[in-house]
């Protein structure tokens, strides 16, 4: 496994792969890797000749200095895990060489970044857009992999790649969960064992709505009941719970006309911000 931190060294290596007509799969991450990341990596290993994984905690996408500072960083553990999983290249840029000057450019996703996460994390997607564009220029992959746990990120990047004609395929990978239903996340490392139990309520709420929708219950009633479930879980502080049309992420209060929807939630446990969603195909 090659471990590279200089962008120039990465592009040289990538051109040598391209000369040999090898296909490249790319998995961008912020590290503190877990089985969710591994599921993206395994899919890339299966579908491409070579797999490149990046580890970079991108300061541009954090609207909160303390969240950035507390983001878990365990680079030695990560590199060991990637080696054991037969990844070909790990790109771990230093902030100063990756951003020799703070980019003044920013990607505006219009109304799509004003909804859900974008409403609560100002500038988050603008920063994600810049870092992913930069990575896509450097790695020039055939396929890039994103987790559907971050549904809005996946949809926005897919749209960005269409609008800007990036040549890669954007592939969404299903969410990997704990037995309790809690979505795996690097942020879970910051939770106590009690906090992990509390956080399982997030997915219980989502499944309650899913079951209700399958039984064709009224959406407003379901949302009220789940809000009550969330309120009664001491230690969980809900930020938002919304059912949206995945086409434009607009909030819906009735699903009879829709062929798909997503139930999206964000909240805090022990001061740690967690998100999750369930996607449902209806027809």
Q: Applying CB under 6 A, does 188 fall inside the site for ligand AMP?
A: no
Q: Applying CB under 6 A, does 190 fall inside the site for ligand AMP?
A: no
Going by the DSSP 8-state scheme, the letter that residue 218 receives in this structure is -
Going by the DSSP 8-state scheme, the letter that residue 167 receives in this structure is S
Helix, strand or coil, per DSSP, at residue 233:
coil
Using CA atoms, how far apart are residues 19 and 152, in angstroms rounded to an integer? 35
Of 50, 39, 281, which is closest to residue 145 (Cα–Cα)? Answer: 39
Site string for ligand AMP, 52-81 (x = CB under 6 A): ------------------------------
Q: CB of 44 within 8 A of CB of 143?
A: yes
**Shortest distance in whole angstroms from residue 139 CB to ligand AMP:** 14
Q: Applying CB under 6 A, does 36 fall inside the site for ligand AMP?
A: yes
Q: Which is closer to ligand AMP, CB of 40 or CB of 209?
A: 40
**Shortest distance in whole angstroms from residue 143 CB to ligand AMP:** 13
Angle at alpha carbon of residue 42, lines to 35 and 173, rounded to 5°: 75
**Shortest distance in whole angstroms from residue 40 CB to ligand AMP:** 5
Handedness of CA 99, 105, 109, 115 (dihedral sign): positive
- Taking contact as CB under 6 A, which single stretch among the options 96-104, 131-139, 181-189, 252-260 is the one that binds ligand AMP? 181-189
Residues 35/177/157/136 CA torsion (nearest 10 deg) = 0
Q: Within 13 A of 39's CA, how many CA atoms are on the CB side?
A: 17
Q: CB of 56 within 8 A of CB of 7?
A: no
- Taking contact as CB under 6 A, which single stretch among the options 29-37, 63-71, 192-200, 255-263 is the one that binds ligand AMP? 29-37
Q: Which residues are catalytic?
A: 37
- Taking contact as CB under 6 A, which single stretch among the options 143-151, 197-205, 209-217, 222-230 is the one that binds ligand AMP? 143-151
Q: Applying CB under 6 A, does 109 fall inside the site for ligand AMP?
A: no
Q: Footprint of ligand AMP on this chain (CB under 6 A)?
A: 29-30, 36-37, 39-40, 146-147, 149-150, 173, 175-176, 183-186
């Amino acid at each position: 496994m090659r471990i590279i931190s200089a962008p120039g060294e990465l592009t040289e290596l990538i051109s040598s792969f391209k000369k040999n007509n090898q296909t490249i799969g790319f998995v961008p991450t912020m590290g503190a890797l877990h089985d969710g990341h591994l599921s993206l990596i395994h899919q890339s290993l299966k579908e491409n000749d070579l797999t490149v994984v990046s580890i970079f905690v991108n300061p541009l996408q954090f609207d909160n200095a303390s969240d950035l500072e507390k983001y878990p960083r365990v680079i030695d553990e990560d590199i060991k895990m990637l080696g054991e999983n037969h990844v070909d290249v790990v790109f771990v840029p230093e902030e100063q060489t990756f951003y020799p000057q703070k980019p003044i450019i920013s990607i505006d996703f219009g109304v799509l970044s004003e909804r859900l996460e974008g409403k609560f994390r100002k500038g988050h997607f603008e920063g994600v857009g810049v870092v992913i564009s930069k990575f896509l220029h450097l790695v020039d992959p055939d396929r890039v992999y994103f987790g559907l746990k971050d549904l809005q990120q996946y949809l926005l990047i897919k749209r960005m790649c269409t609008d800007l004609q990036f040549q890669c395929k954007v592939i969404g990978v299903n969410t990997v969960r704990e037995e309790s239903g809690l979505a795996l996340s690097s942020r879970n490392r910051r939770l106590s064992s009690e906090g992990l139990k509390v956080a399982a309520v997030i997915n219980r709420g989502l499944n309650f709505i899913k079951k209700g929708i399958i039984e064709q219950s009224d959406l407003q009633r379901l949302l009220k009941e789940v809000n009550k479930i969330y309120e009664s879980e001491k230690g969980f502080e809900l930020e938002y719970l919304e059912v949206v049309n995945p086409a434009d992420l607009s909030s819906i209060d009735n699903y009879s006309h829709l062929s798909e929807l997503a139930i999206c939630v964000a909240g805090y446990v022990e001061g740690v911000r967690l998100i999750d969603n369930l996607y449902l195909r209806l027809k």
